[in-house]
Amino acid sequence: MLRDFMLDTALGNIAGLRGGAKGGARVLALHGWLDNAASFIPLAEHLVGIELVALDLPGHGASAHLPSAADYLATSAARAAFAAADALGWDRFALLGHSLGGSVASLMAAAQPQRIERLVSIESLGLLVETEDRTAARLREAFAAQTGLVDKQLRVFADIDTAVRARMQGIGKVSEAAARLLVERGIARVDGGYTWRSDPRLTLPTLVRMTEAQVRDLLRGIECPARVIYGAPAQSYFPEPLRSERAALLPRGELIVLPGSHHLHMEDAPAVAGAIGDFFLRG
């Protein structure tokens, strides 16, 4: 059973869900883009012997939004996750990431290898990339989008069921059961109904992205044992053979492919838990 918590960190308030075996292997879980800590509720009941702390990344769920002068970057999320670990008193710990959370976990494992014991990344490894000749165009698009967001009105849903149906058709289409878990943590009551409580700036284009060569160097720098779990068929934005090529760069990595969608850790939690096995418990 996961329970709510709130941490006062050096980078602001970070919320989430935690539970599992007190004193067990410490695992910090990071969710995907526009999801929240509830992403790990189905999987948590199948993972034994670990103390699981699932964060709401900044701007998601119940966590604070970043200041207006700050940008939502994978590096910013990585710094916030380390700040949460510091607030927990965790010097060393393992990482469990899905989608964006897997990208952030990849950065963390490469940036501070002395702190990361093990890494499991689901449906992600490394970051989305950009070619060098798109640098100026990306910056122009991102700044233009920031200007256009000023007058944008948030959608208001009359009831939770309507929000659930919208989430089922959103990024990484999910079942009704999975969508309801994400929605119930991801909405706030307002006049006339409910609206997303995630920061609207999360939908803006990223200002700057690494190149593929930079991402590959980052992956070669991940020193801890790593297990990558992909669903089949592959997503269009992370196709084969790219995703397998990236996994092969991990010095101590292994790859498992399971039938399933992008949210397979929610849709088929027993199978994903079986693929994780005792990985987090190994010395």
Q: Kindly list the catalytic residues.
A: 99
SS3 27: strand
Residue tagged 């930079």 (tokens): 214
Contact call for residues 157 and 195 (beta carbons, < 8 A): yes
Both tokens of 31, joined, read 């969710």
CA pair distance 166, 97, nearest whole angstrom: 24
Based on C-alpha coordinates, what's the Rg of the chain? 18
**Amino acid sitting at position 113:** P
Q: Measuring CA to CA, which residue among 165, 159, 158 is closest to residue 180?
A: 165
Alpha carbon distances (Å) from 126 to 123, 137, 233: 10, 22, 19
CA pair distance 170, 221, nearest whole angstrom: 34
Residue 191: CB atoms within 10 Å: 6
Tell me the pairing of strands 226-232 and 253-259: parallel
